C-alpha cells in the first residue's frame, strides 16, 4: 500500500515551516507508533493543545521535515510532522492564574 497522493508531496523543496526555538501547539493527539521508547504502542504522547518548543529539525524518507518538539510540561521530546503543529504567538498563551495580580502589586 503506497502513500496517499498528498503524502507523496516532497516538503523538502521548501524551507521548514518552523525554526529552532519556535513555540508551537499540537493540533491533534499524537500516539506512540512504536518509535518512542519505554511507552506502549498506542499510548498518547501529546494531547491536542499541548505547547512545546522546536528543539531540532530533521527529515524522514528524504521527503518530510520532522520537528523534535520539547513539550516541557510533559518532560518529553516528540518527533512531529509540520501538519501536526501550528505556530504560537506569545499572546496566544493564557497567562497563569494570578500572573496579572502579581504584576499589578
Q: Is the pLDDT of residue 99 over 50?
A: no
Q: Give domain status of residue 53, yes or no.
A: yes
Residue identified by cell 516532497 is 10
Residue range 19-31, pLDDT digits in tens: 999 999 999 999 9
Specify if 82 maps to a domain: yes
Q: What is the CATH number of the domain that holds 85?
A: 2.30.30.50
Query: How many domains is the chain built from?
Result: 1
- 48 located within any domain: yes
Residue 35 within a domain: yes
Distance between CA atoms of 54 and 4, rounded to whole angstroms? 27
Does 33 map to a domain? yes
Domain of 79 in residue numbering reads as 18-90
pLDDT tens digits, 32-83: 999 999 999 999 999 999 999 999 999 999 899 999 999 999 999 999 999 9
Query: Nearest 10 degrees: CA dihedral of 85, 77, 34, 9?
Result: 30
Q: Rounded to the nearest 5 degrees, what angle is found at the Cα of 12, between the Cα atoms of 74 and 51?
A: 20
What angle (nearest 5°) sits at the alpha carbon of residue 75, between those of residues 71 and 78?
Answer: 50
Q: Is residue 97 part of a domain?
A: no
Residue 37 DSSP class: T
Percent of the chain residues topping a pLDDT of 90: 71
Amino acid at each position: 500500500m503506497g502513500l496517499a497522493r498528498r503524502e507523496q508531496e516532497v516538503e523538502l523543496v521548501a524551507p521548514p515551516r518552523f525554526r529552532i526555538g519556535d513555540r508551537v501547539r499540537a493540533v491533534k493527539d499524537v500516539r506512540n507508533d512504536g518509535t518512542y521508547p519505554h511507552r506502549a504502542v498506542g499510548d498518547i504522547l501529546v494531547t491536542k493543545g499541548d505547547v512545546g518548543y522546536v528543539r531540532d529539525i530533521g527529515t524522514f524518507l528524504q521527503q518530510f521535515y520532522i520537528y523534535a518538539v520539547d513539550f516541557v510540561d510533559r518532560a518529553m521530546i516528540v518527533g512531529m510532522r509540520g501538519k501536526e503543529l501550528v505556530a504560537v504567538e506569545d499572546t496566544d498563551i493564557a497567562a497563569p492564574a494570578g500572573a496579572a495580580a502579581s504584576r499589578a502589586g
